[in-house]
Chain A
Amino acid sequence: MTTALILLLLAVGAYLVAVIEAWTMNGRWQLAAPITAGIALLGRESIVPRKPDRVFFEVAPVLLLISALLAATVLPLTPGLIITDLATGVLFINAALVYVLVALLMAGWGPNGAYAMIGGWRFLGQLIAYAMLIVMPVTAVAMRAESLLTTQIVTSQADLWNILYQPLGFVLFFVAAMALAFLPPFDLTTATSELAGGVEAEYSGVRLAVFRLGRLVLVITLAATIVVFYLGGWQGPWLPPWAWSAIKILAVTALMLLAGPALPRVREADLLSLCWKLGIPLALLNIFVVGLQVLVWP
């Protein structure tokens, strides 16, 4: 029952992400657009390019959807509304989201097209840049909660949300999450203007619909992750827990999507040097500062 409800909420969330994304692009609220676009994609031809690696080509969109879905299973929306409260929850989110890389590399290699190939390898470089900024801030979150259980991470923020307790970690994780979801300005792998869609370029019809659905679920999952790790999850005054979760997740989604169109696309070399020369020293500093805070100010 819980599982079905959360899957339904994820579907609604993916729809809202599509609506908000369209709004950030053209400033209009097109409520029917995601549905009609989805149906239109179902009706179109789904072309397989010549001489593909058929296994990779077929698996990639499904794997993207599944990895985002699995990461969402360990995120609590209210105290009881969670699919599985794994004891290794935080680790499981990381493990599931790494498969985004695998899916995009498969989508790059599979169709035997030059632009897709470059897009796929670019995402590998992007992973090398953002991956440490996902795991290091999360370690600091687990240090405070003394647990890898996501529910306990939420309850550990009862007095003070992590965004105030470790603001540096929040900023790093937010940027890294945007890079993980290949949202602009980190959309190196799908760059429409330079790679003609990159890893998406060779997909059409129903396969493209699944690929885009996977991406939308990924964005809403990452927004929920940020809310659980840094914004106190379901906690908040006056309103019921589910309302707080919904408000926070949608606000974070809007923030993630709004940041993109205002900024130029980052070059791969710049992204790598920024993350390693600035991001990782700051992330280590964050772990050290949080370590002191946990000991001094329990």
Chain B
Amino acid sequence: MLEQYGLLLGLIVGATGFVLSLYAIARATGKTQQEPGKDVPATGGQLSRDPVWVRYHARYYGYALLFLAFDMEMAFMYPWAVVYKQVGLVALLDMGVFLAILFLGLLYGWSQGVLRRQ
């Protein structure tokens, strides 16, 4: 078990090493020359009028709140899915009630106009 995760860690380190070696090759073939105006971000050749790191209006926040509820629910779904066949109909009813309540939440949000770009 520990070996498996060790292997995964090794892959992360190996991939990072691969990328670093690519950078080294690119560096060996020539350095980036510092020239005026070269480092301006892609905004039509001039700096943007306003700063970029501002509060972005996430107009999908209604969806995002519902998403949190559904994402939490998925944490319960995986163990349930594994034992589902053993437990049988009771499991279907248990999760059915749980999902029905969540789905009612979705319908309520929908009726209140949450499911649109604000």
Contacts and interface: CB of A to CB of B under 8 A. Distances in A.
Contacts of B4: 84-86
Contacts of B48: 113-114
Interface string A102-138: 0000000101111111100100110011011001100
A209 B70 contact: no
A276 interface: yes
A233 interface: no
Given A201-B41, A205-B26, A210-B19, A295 B92 contact: yes
Interface string A168-204: 0000000000000000000000000000110001100
Nearest to B53: A112
A91 B79 CA distance: 10
A24 interface: no
A29 interface: no
Given A132-B67, A146-B85, A46 B92 contact: no
A82 to B, nearest CB: 11
Contacts of B116: 269, 273
Contacts of A50: 39-41
A267 to B, nearest CB: 9
B33 interface: yes
Interface residues of A, number: 71
A135 B55 CA distance: 30
A109 B53 contact: yes
Given A3-B11, A142-B78, A294 B39 contact: no
Nearest to B33: A45
A247 interface: no
Nearest to A144: B85
A147 B52 contact: no
Contacts of A139: 74, 77-78, 81
Contacts of B26: 42-43, 46, 205-206
Contact of B19 (A61, A140, A146, A281): A61
Nearest to B26: A206
Interface string B13-36: 001100100110110011011000
A128 B116 CA distance: 13
A66 B117 CA distance: 33
A70 B12 contact: yes
A36 B86 CA distance: 55
Interface string A34-69: 000000001101111110000000000110011001
A90 interface: yes
Contacts of A112: 41, 52-53
Interface string B33-58: 10000111111000010001100101
A284 interface: yes
Contact of A46 (B32, B52, B67): B32
Contacts of A131: 67, 71
B22 to A, nearest CB: 6
B117 A292 contact: no
A74 to B, nearest CB: 9
Given A128-B64, A288-B96, 4 more contacts: A45-B33, A202-B42, A205-B32, A272-B115
Interface of A: 3, 42-43, 45-50, 61-62, 65-66, 69-70, 73, 83-86, 90-91, 109, 111-118, 121, 124-125, 128-129, 131-132, 135-136, 139-140, 142-143, 146-148, 196-197, 201-202, 205-206, 209-210, 268-269, 272-273, 276-277, 280-281, 284, 287-288, 291-292, 294-295, 298
